[in-house]
Amino acid sequence: MSIERFAFPTTIHFGAGARRRVVGHLQAEGIKRPLLVTDRGIAALELLPAFLSELEGLDVAVYSDIAGNPVRRQVMDGAAAYRAHRADAVVGLGGGAALDVAKAVALMAARPGDILEYAWDHPAVRAIDGPIPHFVALPTTAGTGSEVGRSAVISDDETHVKKIIFSPLLLAKAVFADPELTLDLPSPITAATGMDALTHNVESYLSPAYHPLCDGIALEGVRIAARALPLAVKDGHDLAARADMLMSSMMGAIAFQKDLGAVHSCAHALSTVLDMHHGLANGIMIDHVMRFNLPAATDKLAELAHVAGVRGGDAGSAEARGRAFIVWLVELKTAIGIPAKLSGCCAPRAATRADIGRLVEVAVADICHQTNPRPCTAADFEAIFAAAL
């Protein structure tokens, strides 16, 4: 029997008002000059000055030139801002993009070269070793779970190809998960990020890798999201639902150290080719990939039906229950406003059959489908994308 290694090290302060603990934490660590990394959307809200006012006694600089999927330039400019401020810590405030950039800024604060040279698949990859500046994270969306992740996904500015920078050193020293920071998130973003969280939990559970701890976390993450996501989309000020989605998001990100699957390879291709929001891409593709997965993951999909409390999830054959889970995914998407197919999404543009070749090329090259429960060839991806148009 092989020997496996498990770890769940991140300290998480969870609950309404958790953000108010940040200043005390930083002061206890001797931090005096943090760089706050956030995105343009947050920078335009009252949330930012309100949070800065809670960091009294610290000399805080703000870097907020982040929009869309995170790219190399944002990281390198953020690292330059860190050095210009003579900063001694990084505070990440925002969704997955801002938090991924914040991690990468901390990594590059005093390191040579380019951020993409630290991607795991770079032909001359640079080692990630030695300390990085103190980094804390405050999520403002419930989707990627980047606040508890040990990787940053950064795209090339020109090709938009996503690259993964991975190291346990990228883990936040502390996470302040405050559901009050997510209360004003618009319903379409709540839906898209929520589908991202659900997809993380589903795909990590379906991964054939051995990690029973992650399996348990993923199943509970699905159970929580199945109940809370429609409520959070319907009423953005339902604090309990917002808190549940924030927890499910973190659980999904913890669970996917077990790895993901073909939904994410499809989503990464859609983000690369069409610049589609990652959570939205996952939401559109999940049921299409689950139909493909059903023959190889029948029992697990049946268990997901039970956990999610879907109609028909506790009766009949395992295949029938697995199909019930897929039907529930379709119904959930309709209820929260996620398009059933790619043709129903026009942000930034709708996919066409002319895009399939490039989408398949990117999806095949993506690492995530290597742990899909059913092997996925180029022909399989072509069929999945065609069915999703």
Buried b (16+ CB within 10 A) or exposed e, 211-227: beebbebbbbbbbbbbe
pLDDT beyond 80 at 149: yes
Sign of the alpha-carbon dihedral angle for 171, 176, 179, 185: negative
**What are the pLDDT digits (tens) for 207-251?**
999 999 999 999 999 999 999 999 999 999 999 999 999 999 999
The CA–CA distances, whole Å, from 177 to 25, 72, 242, 280, 307 equal 14, 27, 11, 22, 25
Mean pLDDT across the chain: 94
**Of 153-162, 191-200, 251-260, which gets the smallest average pLDDT?**
153-162
pTM of the model: 0.93
Predicted confidence at residue 1, as pLDDT, reads: 56
Alpha carbons within 13 A on the beta-carbon side of 369: 27
What residue spans of the chain are helical by DSSP H?
Answer: 22-28, 40-43, 47-53, 72-85, 96-108, 187-206, 212-234, 239-255, 262-274, 278-293, 298-308, 318-336, 356-365, 378-388
d(CA 370, CA 260) in angstroms, rounded, equals: 8
Q: Please list, in sequence order, all residues whose beta carbon lies within 8 angstroms of the beta carbon of residue 312, skipping any fewer than 6 positions away.
A: 305, 320, 321, 324, 327
Q: 12-182 sits in which CATH class? A: alpha beta
pLDDT beyond 90 at 316: yes
Predicted confidence at residue 92, as pLDDT, reads: 98
Predicted confidence at residue 161, as pLDDT, reads: 84
The amino acid that residue 382 corresponds to is E
- Kind and range of the H or E element at 148? none
DSSP character at residue 343: G
Tokens of 5: 């290694």
37 Cα distance to chain centroid: 17
d(CA 11, CA 34) in angstroms, rounded, equals: 19
Rg (CA), the chain: 20
d(CA 286, CA 162) in angstroms, rounded, equals: 20
Determine the average pLDDT of the residues in 29-54.
Answer: 96
Predicted confidence at residue 2, as pLDDT, reads: 54
- Residues of the chain above pLDDT 90, percent: 88
Predicted confidence at residue 4, as pLDDT, reads: 54
**Nearest Cα to 190, choosing from 280, 263, 255?**
280
Q: Which CATH architecture best describes the domain 187-388?
A: Up-down Bundle (1.20)
Predicted confidence at residue 213, as pLDDT, reads: 93
- Residues of the chain above pLDDT 70, percent: 98
Block residue for tokens 């030695």: 130
Determine the average pLDDT of the residues in 339-351.
Answer: 87
Query: For the chain, what are the domain ranges?
Result: 12-182, 187-388
Predicted confidence at residue 162, as pLDDT, reads: 85
**Nearest Cα to 141, choosing from 242, 16, 7?**
242
Predicted confidence at residue 7, as pLDDT, reads: 52
Tokens of 59: 């000399």
Beta bridge partners of 62: 36
Predicted confidence at residue 118, as pLDDT, reads: 96
pLDDT beyond 80 at 120: yes
Predicted confidence at residue 5, as pLDDT, reads: 54
Predicted confidence at residue 69, as pLDDT, reads: 84
**What are the pLDDT digits (tens) for 169-211?**
999 999 999 999 999 899 999 999 999 999 999 999 999 999 9
The amino acid that residue 142 corresponds to is A
